[in-house]
Amino acid sequence: MEYILKNGTVYDPTNNIDGEKKDVMFKDGKIVDNVSSNAKELDVTDKIVMAAGVDPHSHIAGPKLVVGRLYRPEDSRKGIVPKTDVTRAETGFSIPSCPATGYRYSRMGYGTVIEAAMPPLEAKHTHEEIVAIPNIDIAALPLFGNNWFVLEYAKENNIDDLAALISKWLRLTRGYGVKIVNPGGSEAWGWGMNVHGVDDPVPYWDVTSREVIHALAEANEKLGLPHSIHLHPNDLGHPGNYETTVESMDIVKDVAKNSPVRNQTVHMTHIQYHSYAGTNWRDFESGAEDVAKFINNNDYVTCDVGQITLDETTTMTADAPMEFDLHQLNGLKWANKDIELETAAGIVPFIYSGRNSVHSVQWAIGLEMFMMVENPWQIMLTTDSPNAGPFIRYPRVISWLMSNKRRLEMIENGEVHKAVGRKSVIATLDREYDFNEIATISRAAPAKAYGFEDKGHLGVGARADIAVYDINPNTIDPSNDYEAIERAFGNAALTVKDGQILVKDGQVVSTKESQTIWTNVKGLEEKEAVLMEKIMPVFDKYYTVKYENYPVFDNYVPNPIEVNVQAGK
Amino acid sequence: MTYVDKPAVPNVVKYDEPMAIKRDKLKVILNTGSDIYQGACKKRGSTLKDEYRHVSGTAYMDPRDMARLDVKNWDTALVKTDWGEVVVFTAHSRDAPHEGQIFICKGPWANVVVSPDTYCCCDPTYKGVDATIEKTDEEPLLMADLMAKVYMKYDKDAEKSINHLTDKRINVGITKPEE
Amino acid sequence: MAYEEPIRDYDRIVENCTCAFCGCNCDDLTYLVKNEHVVGVRHACRLGASKIMEDMDQRLLVPLIRNEAGELVETDWDTALDKAAELIANSVRPVFYGWSETSIETMKQGIKLGEYVGAVLDNQATICHGPSLQAVQNSGYPVNTLGEVKNRADMIVYTGSNAMNSHPRHLARYAAFPRGYFRKKGRFDRTIVTMDPRYTDTAKMSDIWVGFNPNGDYEFYTALRAVLRGKKLKEDKVSGIPRETIEELAEAMKTTEYGCLFFGLGLTHSLAKQRNIDAGIRLIQDLNKYSKWNLIPMRGHFNVNGFNIFMSFEMGFPYGVDFSRGYPRYMNGETNTIDLLTREEVDVFMVIAADPGAHFPGGANRHLANIPVIQIDIHWGPSTELADVVLPGSFVGVEVAGTSYRMDGVPIYMKKAIDKPETCRDDEWIVRELYERVQKIKGEKIASK
Amino acid sequence: MKNITFNQKKTSTIALEFDELIPDEVYTWEKSDFDKYMVPIGNSRFPLSDYFDVEVEGSAESPAEVIMTLNGDLGRVKYIGSKMTDGHIVANSSVDLHCGAEMSGGSITINGNAESYVGREMTGGELEITGNVKEFCGASYIGDWRGMTGGIITVHGNAGKQLGECLTGGQIHVKGNCDILAGIHMSKGFIQIDGNVPRSPGGQMLNGDILINGTLAMFLEGFDQEEIVSNPTVSGKQFNGKYIKFTGDIIRNGKGSLWLNAEKNRHLL
């Protein structure tokens, strides 16, 4: 089937197209530069055309999501939408059910989402959920930062074995890249402890976060994976943690990049939670400036923000000790999930409120990061969904970014606490994003960071993942019409995925099966075999599943997009 | 060792309870649940067989209670609750002592006497049900016979009103008993 | 007990099979197969072995329909499926109950059918760990995988659970006996506590037995938590347990390095129901201020957790999901099987891989005598005595492969070891067939209007 | 004023759901609208007129001017007055689940008993039940820590288990006896029970008041005796006689108060 999107205003930062009136054509699921006269014409005059969104960090599938859904029926009840002829019933607000997740991303014009934390032991579960989510392509990042084997090899600085381990485990779990969460901290949580800072040794293992991050970054580059290490550093949400964050980024400065498809060697995730100054919650204030300065001076770093949206949400992270602290703070129901030899996770409902000074300053810190990081290719739009807010709030965040007026209004109207004025400088930052920058932070930059060469742009040969928003960029003033911006980005006029029209005027009109993106590293088969001989005795003794039953089998990944990587090339 | 005739139970020759007064009927607390014999027999699928009757249709009792009631291992007794009555075997409980409590493994026999009241928590009250137990000469029924007798689904001549279960309707909104 | 000769007469062995009995999902079983029959099972407990080496005498092999005389007679698949589909298509308040002894793949078909016709989908949690899930929803869910227990735990508490009888390998493979990374001496490195009104087989092999009164669970946990907070108890005995014992126990739980609490139906079935577990969960949360503690519910069937997980990710609610209004509803006491049956609301009841005849109270089963019952199962059981249409399924984990979730949420792909009997069908196929046939009947209905 | 009278024609074993038949929706409806209306039963909808004969008298400008009277056996009619914001409903029979759930205003009178979840998560208005109520009266939705936040529930008979679970405001008055676990997890509000309570009131409560005029057989270890107060004022209401005041539940650092009639609870002193 051939289509032509006529007369849209195209924003495609990857191909340096900044608001040109231009037709976009696609055929058989790919963007092409011409179509036959049979092509179906869709008029998008005075509308914005972008590549479909790419979410670089979101929690949408996996064991901790399911614990969240299972133990928060009061949240599931919030987003109920009855089934239609096309769609199944939807439930959930902060942790939507799988079908709802797919439909809601489609309605926002998104096409690809990264599930940011997959415990290898329960990878099958994550993939089952990915299959249950319609409409979007999903890549999952397995957790490596607290894996016993990783801790051991990092301590020995045994990069060869570590690289072979990553290569093997990506195949075993059908994962995409290396995720590190609170390195050492989640293992310490096995004894109810945590680590603080990058030089605090992990109990028993006697390895530091610094060693783990550096070793994994080196192994990652040795393999030349399409994504860099994806780092959630230590001390999340602690006042004064910006120093740890800056140190963590500094650790990998000597690691040489070994991949042409991306620019960074470390991706710092939900940086908002890691940019706090002060020493306790009383004198807590923004530390965004130092973090942003480091990022501006070092182009090997990219980050996503994790913007607070001031909603009642569900926090969930593999940083389990942090979640327990959070539970002690707010007293709401605490769920925890420790996974043998690998990782841990915690979940706590959380009510972010503009009336609370801390939450308001957190809100300001996220926006400060957006304002202070100069290069939009280094910063990406996320809410660390659902931690800082559900992903359905992206349009609202976009409206904040595009409207200084709206931000000041929120501060002046008391929609956020007055502490924002004292403890952050957001009121003094009058930068406003334009549509090109929005297209960068929500599609082009994430696609680049993940090495997706056929996503996040509209060049010939790219996948026909396209979003059309009903905004006339020539007449709209986003600063004033922030509500229109939010509405338009929340209800795509058209969402096209692989050439199939999924959404029309904010309504899901058709659905398709999701695809799973994973990295298959080749060339290390022999080293892997040698490594496995070393690992097997430990595996047999301390895991509670048999190795034969451990991998994710092909039937869990019915629609794979296999990214083949030749190790070290 | 997958098939068994009967569960292995302690065989106490003499119930030495000088203070025990012989009674025809004992008031007890009924607990139900599973044990390994019942589980193995049920899940193997041998529910039509005599084995199932012994592993599931047996009231495990404290030996002192057995002495009071004058029953021995594999005698039979009638258990009655507000919800129904059923004939089961009696046997010496491996978990004794638990005077005043009897334990019947889950299964069609226990079902007749447990309370279906969920108190809005979805789960019937399988444990801690007030019951009485008395000696009887009747034999416990085999599973199929019991199902036919209790539920009378395909018994055209049966009048449902003389259902073996008591007529007590529950959860109908108007039957909260006066305290 | 008599000595039994080891089995030497078999054609082939199949290794690393997963046990399809309890929530332990032991995945290290070896099946000895002869003539496409499992004649021996290595590593399994008595329960697992007896289920896997099933009783072929009672195996359901062909579809059956109840005739006028009230007898089940053999029929062909088309007739049986059409009959079942017709019953479902014309029902107003259908309940599809079971699912815990079949695969996630079957549930996927089931939810399609349930959502399409507006049924209530419920599983065995409704009669076992439903209150646990409600307590989880009230208080939280601090869990771990069983390997954490094996590698770290030095104190293990079983409460309201007789693991030796209902999860026989739990102690051996995961909790008490195995040598873990940080517990090299296995059982000698651990303290085992059993809390149960009866001196059960599990209590007999524990270091400490706490025999509180029946229905006294809630008071006991409250007292334990009060002591943890430094309160001096007023009463000499709480729930039959002396004050000093409670104080000692609290101290021991506080000073342990890594503890895990396993709780079973003893808590969910007694008087305060979900509040017993509620108190238990809060106890674990309190203990984490001093030490590391987690809990795991002792799930009974091998995939009962799987259904709860599956429904949660598909529809946001774990069990008792009512699709009657076109969107899912979850309300305890309203959308659960037992309540619907005792209220006599159900008009068609489909039971798949479950046995209400054996497990539902008579007060609920009585309604099954009034309405049509469709059964999908592998053995002739008590429910067959109440069934009107019987569809013989196949044995997940032995005859068909499928996904299941262990009690701690670890997914396991259960492999196929032998072929199913020729005349049986996969559960997945049966439910998909039903869905397609119901769709056809409903489509015709709409078209005729 | 608009009087809408529902007279039952026949009963259903499968419950009718009345969540759409609340004053907020029907204040503009005429008889013909009711006759056209299809009521949800199970997975289908059936004509309301099969089950109820509806009479409409007068007219209303707003929901507040509506009086709905329901006659017949309502034992299988769920969600009566659920989510209503104004108006009056009188049910002359025992009612099924969720009566007055999530209501925020207006009033409901039930001349009979009520099934479980009556007044669940209500935020305002008045609910009066002349008979007994079953479980979870004035409770929260499962999993939510915020239950009923406002309004008044008066029960003339007895109450079942878990009355006022997670209560976060409003008042519940039970004139008869009350089963176990009243006011569990409550954090605000007031529960008054005139009859007897077997055990465990106020488990894990954080704040709020529970007052029991009858006898409490057994209470939880998490409560400490504070003082004996004569003629106390609890939640703005004056009570005559001596009351023992307990605070708790300590296990959650709760600051709730449990008031027990001193006369009838000497055994707890």
Give the DSSP H/E element, type plus range, for residue B29: strand B25-33
Q: Is residue B114 part of a domain?
A: yes
Q: Is residue B10 part of a domain?
A: no
Confidence of residue A421 (pLDDT cuts 50, 70, 90): very high
Task: Using DSSP, state whether A175 is helix, strand or coil.
Answer: coil
ipTM value of the model?
0.95
What is the rounded distance in angstroms from the CA atom of residue A531 to the CA atom of residue A535?
6
- A72, D143: Cβ pair inside 8 Å? yes
**Chain D residues closer than 8 Å to C234 by CB:** 221
The letter for the amino acid at B72 is: K
CATH 3.40.228.10, applies to C130-297: yes
Mean pLDDT in residue range A440-464: 96
Q: How many residues does chain C have?
A: 449
What is the rounded distance in angstroms from the CA atom of residue A547 to the CA atom of residue D269?
62
CA distance D57 to chain C (A): 31
Q: Which residue is it, tokens 């019933």?
A: A89
Confidence of residue B167 (pLDDT cuts 50, 70, 90): very low
Tell me, what CATH number does B70's domain have? 2.40.40.20
- D14, C345: Cβ pair inside 8 Å? yes
**Chain B residues closer than 8 Å to C39 by CB:** none
Residue A70 has a pLDDT of 94
Residue C370 has a pLDDT of 85
Find the closest chain C residue to A332 by CA distance: C139
Task: Using DSSP, state whether D8 is helix, strand or coil.
Answer: strand
Query: Using the 8-state DSSP alphabet, how is residue C396 labeled?
Result: B
Give me the CATH code for the A50-353+375-391+435-508 domain, please: 3.20.20
- B94, C214: Cβ pair inside 8 Å? no
- In chain A, pLDDT over 90 holds for what percent of residues? 98
Give the rounded distance of the alpha carbon of C217 from its chain centre: 22
Confidence of residue A197 (pLDDT cuts 50, 70, 90): very high
Q: Which residue has the higher pLDDT, A419 or B152?
A: A419
Q: With 70 as the cut, is the pLDDT of residue B11 above it?
A: yes
- Whether the CB-CB separation of A502 and A496 falls below 8 Å is answered with yes
Q: Is residue D122 part of a domain?
A: yes
C279-293 tens-digit pLDDT: 999 999 999 999 999
C49 backbone dihedrals φ, ψ, rounded to 5°:
-60, -45
**Chain C residues closer than 8 Å to D250 by CB:** 226, 229, 231
Which chains, if any, share at least 3 CB pairs under 8 A with chain C? A, B, D
Q: What is the number of structural domains in chain D?
A: 1
D136 touches chain C (CB under 8 A): yes
What is the rounded distance in angstroms from the CA atom of residue C212 to the CA atom of residue C429?
48
Interface of B with D in 57-96 (CB under 8 A): none
Tell me, what CATH number does D88's domain have? 2.160.20
C330 touches chain D (CB under 8 A): yes
C219: left (phi over 0), alpha (psi -120 to 50) or beta: alpha
Find the closest chain C residue to B128 by CA distance: C270
Find the closest chain D residue to A68 by CA distance: D143
Q: With 60 as the cut, is the pLDDT of residue C21 above it?
A: yes
Confidence of residue B175 (pLDDT cuts 50, 70, 90): very low
- B179, D96: Cβ pair inside 8 Å? no
B3 touches chain D (CB under 8 A): no
Q: Is residue B18 part of a domain?
A: no
Mean pLDDT in residue range A196-208: 94
Q: Is residue D49 part of a domain?
A: yes
Q: With 90 as the cut, is the pLDDT of residue B172 above it?
A: no
**Chain D residues closer than 8 Å to A74 by CB:** 141-144
Q: What is the number of structural domains in chain B?
A: 1
B172 touches chain D (CB under 8 A): yes
C213-244 tens-digit pLDDT: 888 889 999 999 999 988 888 889 999 999 99
pTM for the model: 0.96
Residue C5 has a pLDDT of 81
**Chain B residues closer than 8 Å to D131 by CB:** 174
Interface of D with C in 12-71 (CB under 8 A): 13-15, 17, 40-44
**Chain B residues closer than 8 Å to D134 by CB:** 120, 173, 176
- C144, A341: Cβ pair inside 8 Å? no
DSSP characters over A363-424? HHHHHHHHHH---GGGEE---TTTTSS-GGGHHHHHHHHH-HHHHHHHHHTTSS-THHHHH-
The domains of chain C are located at 60-127+302-397+419-448, 130-297
Find the closest chain C residue to A82 by CA distance: C327
**Chain D residues closer than 8 Å to A73 by CB:** 141-143
Q: Is residue D265 part of a domain?
A: no
Query: Using the 8-state DSSP alphabet, how is residue D96 labeled?
Result: -
**Structure tokens of C160?**
């309201």
What is the rounded distance in angstroms from the CA atom of residue C191 to the CA atom of residue C209?
11
Could you write out the three-class secondary structure of B89-148? EEEECCCCCCCCEEEEECCHHHHHHCECCCCCCCCCECEEEEEEEEECCCCCCCHHHHHH
Mean pLDDT in residue range A180-187: 95
Confidence of residue C4 (pLDDT cuts 50, 70, 90): confident
Confidence of residue A416 (pLDDT cuts 50, 70, 90): very high
- C117, D43: Cβ pair inside 8 Å? yes
The domains of chain A are located at 50-353+375-391+435-508
Which of D117, D158, D160 lies nearest to residue B119, judging by beta carbons? Answer: D160
Q: Which residue is it, tokens 């399809």?
A: C20
What is the rounded distance in angstroms from the CA atom of residue C281 to the CA atom of residue C260?
11
**Taking all residues of chain C, what is their mean pLDDT, rounded to a whole number?**
93
Which of B42, B108, B163 lies nearest to residue C366, judging by beta carbons? Answer: B163
| Number of other CB atoms surrounding residue A553 within 10 Å | 14
| Number of other CB atoms surrounding residue D214 within 10 Å | 18
Q: Is residue B32 part of a domain?
A: yes
The letter for the amino acid at D90 is: V
CA distance D104 to chain A (A): 18
Find the closest chain A residue to C148 by CA distance: A340
- A328, C289: Cβ pair inside 8 Å? yes
Angle, helix A148-156 to helix A525-542, in steps of 10 degrees: 120
| Residue of A545, A547, A552 to mutate for C, most C C-beta atoms under 10 A | A545
- D251, C222: Cβ pair inside 8 Å? yes
- Whether the CB-CB separation of C89 and C228 falls below 8 Å is answered with no
Look up the domain containing B35 and give its range: 25-162
- A73, C137: Cβ pair inside 8 Å? yes
Instruction: Evaluate whether chains A and B are touching (3 or more beta carbon pairs less than 8 Å apart).
Output: no
C40-67 tens-digit pLDDT: 999 999 999 999 998 888 999 999 999 8
**Chain C residues closer than 8 Å to D199 by CB:** 219
Confidence of residue B170 (pLDDT cuts 50, 70, 90): very low
- C343, B171: Cβ pair inside 8 Å? yes
Residue C235 has a pLDDT of 86
A496-553 tens-digit pLDDT: 999 999 999 999 999 999 999 999 999 999 999 999 999 999 999 999 999 999 999 9
What is the rounded distance in angstroms from the CA atom of residue A392 to the CA atom of residue C412?
33
Mean pLDDT in residue range C119-146: 94
Q: Which residue is it, tokens 């006996």?
A: C177
- Whether the CB-CB separation of D77 and D16 falls below 8 Å is answered with yes
Give the DSSP H/E element, type plus range, for residue C391: strand C389-392
Q: Which residues contact C227 (CB under 8 A, 6 or more apart)?
A: C233, C246, C247, C250
Instruction: Evaluate whether chains C and B are touching (3 or more beta carbon pairs less than 8 Å apart).
Output: yes
**Chain A residues closer than 8 Å to C439 by CB:** none
- B172, D158: Cβ pair inside 8 Å? no
- Whether the CB-CB separation of C20 and C412 falls below 8 Å is answered with no
A242-255 tens-digit pLDDT: 999 999 999 999 99
Which of C28, C285, C315 lies nearest to residue A91, judging by beta carbons? Answer: C315
Q: With 70 as the cut, is the pLDDT of residue B2 above it?
A: no
Look up the domain containing D173 and give its range: 2-215
What is the rounded distance in angstroms from the CA atom of residue A97 to the CA atom of residue A91?
6
**Chain B residues closer than 8 Å to D78 by CB:** none
Q: Which residue is it, tokens 């059960």?
A: C200
Q: What is the pLDDT along chain D (269 residues), one digit of tens a residue?
A: 899 999 999 888 899 999 999 999 999 999 999 999 999 999 999 999 999 999 999 999 999 999 999 999 999 999 999 999 999 999 999 999 999 999 999 999 999 999 999 999 999 999 999 999 999 999 999 999 999 999 999 999 999 999 999 999 999 999 999 999 999 999 999 999 999 999 889 989 999 999 999 999 887 888 888 889 999 999 999 999 999 999 988 888 899 999 999 999 988 87
Q: Which residues contact A491 (CB under 8 A, 6 or more apart)?
A: A107, A470, A505, A506
Residue B15 has a pLDDT of 57
Which of B176, B178, B179 lies nearest to residue D134, judging by beta carbons? Answer: B176
Which of C146, C182, C312 lies nearest to residue A69, judging by beta carbons? Answer: C312
**Chain C residues closer than 8 Å to D117 by CB:** 331, 333-334
A4-17 tens-digit pLDDT: 999 999 999 999 99
Find the closest chain A residue to D141 by CA distance: A74
CA distance D62 to chain B (A): 32
**Structure tokens of C229?**
């907070």
Give me the CATH code for the C60-127+302-397+419-448 domain, please: 3.40.50.740
**Structure tokens of A424?**
């952050």
Half-sphere exposure of D179 (CA within 13 A, CB side): 20
**Chain B residues closer than 8 Å to D96 by CB:** 173
D218: left (phi over 0), alpha (psi -120 to 50) or beta: beta
- B173, D196: Cβ pair inside 8 Å? no
Which chains, if any, share at least 3 CB pairs under 8 A with chain A? C, D
Using alpha carbons only, how large is chain D's radius of gyration in Å?
A: 20
